[in-house]
Structure 1
């Protein structure tokens, strides 16, 4: 009897924790959708499902929101089968069919292309992501989806910010919402406000059928992994720093940076508020209004 009581208590704790995580993720996804107007009435959203924890959680929360949202929108799950050796092709179709979610499996042998083009030992992520993105963009157009939902979260956005700063010389991150270069596709990231550790725990409690990436998941010493470890170290040593850093991406002051394309430093003059002479007309960015760097 004692063992049964212990088991019951553990189940109760697990259920409570799952409910708390679901409410938190649901709230954060809802806030991101509202803040960036990600989903509107009548949208057809193509939810890109990789088989990883992030995309599973994204689909789960979007389905949850869809049932109670004051607007009507359609969700279509899409997986890109890149023909990686040993990829368990049955898992995602069976999972989606059990959920009753409309879905498509797109088969493209990008694996062979990446392995042929990228030298042994070099990072495959760049080429792989470009091929994957191009395929998904094209398929969204085929099925009439006007939004493409990707499972990147807050940690991904911060990692990308530091990657661009350390290795690319740019203050640039992953925007929660963007339009592709050709103007034909709109990408949204509903998990933009969610922490990776919450998503990981949620995925474990929900027992999502995770499919590992055999192409790039085993590569060590990737630049992104170095950045990830740096951020995790900061998070352990200074709780709350991750949240503060992310807030800073949403509150940018161009006049206190050095980009002449964002702020008209040449027109600064003494005797005027913020150095801008109103008689000369509006500056390209008449600061000190903060702008959202995630939208750049």
Structure 2
């Protein structure tokens, strides 16, 4: 299979990934990039966009995909076969995360953050072990916006998702699709009929909470949909706002003039 000719690429996805790459230089010559490949729509699109970049970029970098198998019984063979078809190195990393989550969860609490930390820790560990210097995650702009409003509404803090950051292990974590809308990703994934693993099937928090959707995120998602209906340019304004923050207008002593 040809990684470019046999894949439908959304122009909006490639355009905005290109913008983020140009603005933040997420991938540089000689990098060894490991893509977190869960089998969801976001990770499929990210993997193929980066494979395309690898083939057309004016510099060389290495690329591989990794799936964290939390021992929930999911068969990741289709992901392995998909990567083989397109000449992408694939790593299948088995961990006891689900067992630990079941042991540690507290009644009535959301296991989301605990699960995320364990999965992220497994990715950091394996990336360093295999000597990859960058880990690519499939977060998109809708994720960043939802995270911002969840923190604001439920935790009294304003924070989101940066295009890149350095983990405690020294590994650089990058988010090439951080300015890409989720609906564009869904369109590209649908056009390619990727063998997607559903969120309900792969989400450990969903399984550990007996099939209940994480309440806060779902509520914020629905609120954002209504806001965008009322103001179609709502997300465009938010993208601009995320780059223009007047810190000295808040109650932060270190920024007061």
Q: Same fold (TM over 0.5)?
A: yes
C-alpha contact (below 8 Å) 1:84/1:214 kept by paired residues: no
Counterparts of 2:177 and 2:21 in 1: how far apart (Å)?
A: 9
Counterparts of 1:43 and 1:215 in 2: how far apart (Å)?
A: 31
Match of residue 41 from structure 1: 29
Counterparts of 2:117 and 2:17 in 1: how far apart (Å)?
A: 26
Structure 2 spans left out of the alignment, 5+ residues: 1-6
Match of residue 95 from structure 1: 82
Q: After the TM superposition, which residues 161-200 of structure 1 pair with which residues of structure 2 at under 5 Å, given as runs? A: 161-180=148-167, 182=168, 184-200=170-186
Match of residue 3 from structure 1: none
Equivalent of residue 76 in structure 1, options 61, 64, 89 = 64
SS, match of residue 72 in structure 2:
coil
Counterparts of 1:257 and 1:120 in 2: how far apart (Å)?
A: 37
Counterparts of 2:204 and 2:89 in 1: how far apart (Å)?
A: 27
Q: Give me the CA root mean square deviation.
A: 1.6
SS, match of residue 39 in structure 1:
coil
C-alpha contact (below 8 Å) 2:124/2:169 kept by paired residues: no
Matched, 1:259 2:248: no
Match of residue 272 from structure 1: none
Counterparts of 1:189 and 1:109 in 2: how far apart (Å)?
A: 26
Counterparts of 1:25 and 1:214 in 2: how far apart (Å)?
A: 25
The 1:119–1:183 alpha-carbon spacing in structure 2 relative to 1, beyond 3 Å, is: closer
Match of residue 155 from structure 1: 142
Q: Quick check: 153-162 or 88-97, which moved more?
A: 88-97
Match of residue 281 from structure 1: none
Q: After the TM superposition, which residues 237-248 of structure 1 pair with which residues of structure 2 at under 5 Å, given as runs? A: 237-248=230-241
Matched, 1:215 2:201: no
Counterparts of 2:87 and 2:69 in 1: how far apart (Å)?
A: 20
Counterparts of 1:221 and 1:111 in 2: how far apart (Å)?
A: 17
The 1:89–1:120 alpha-carbon spacing in structure 2 relative to 1, beyond 3 Å, is: farther
Task: Tell me which structure has the larger Cα radius of gyration.
Answer: 1
Counterparts of 1:35 and 1:208 in 2: how far apart (Å)?
A: 29
The 1:221–1:67 alpha-carbon spacing in structure 2 relative to 1, beyond 3 Å, is: closer
Q: After the TM superposition, which residues 6-21 of structure 1 pair with which residues of structure 2 at under 5 Å, given as runs? A: none
Deviation string for 1:149-179 (max 9, x for gaps)? Answer: 0000000001111111112221111111001
Equivalent of residue 44 in structure 2, options 56, 65, 78 = 56
Query: How many residues are aligned here?
Result: 244
Structure 1 spans left out of the alignment, 5+ residues: 1-17, 269-296
Match of residue 224 from structure 2: 231
Question: Given the two structures, how large is their TM-score scaled by the length of structure 2?
Answer: 0.90
Match of residue 14 from structure 1: none
1:56 Cα deviation (Å)?
0.4
Counterparts of 2:212 and 2:33 in 1: how far apart (Å)?
A: 32
The 1:185–1:221 alpha-carbon spacing in structure 2 relative to 1, beyond 3 Å, is: closer
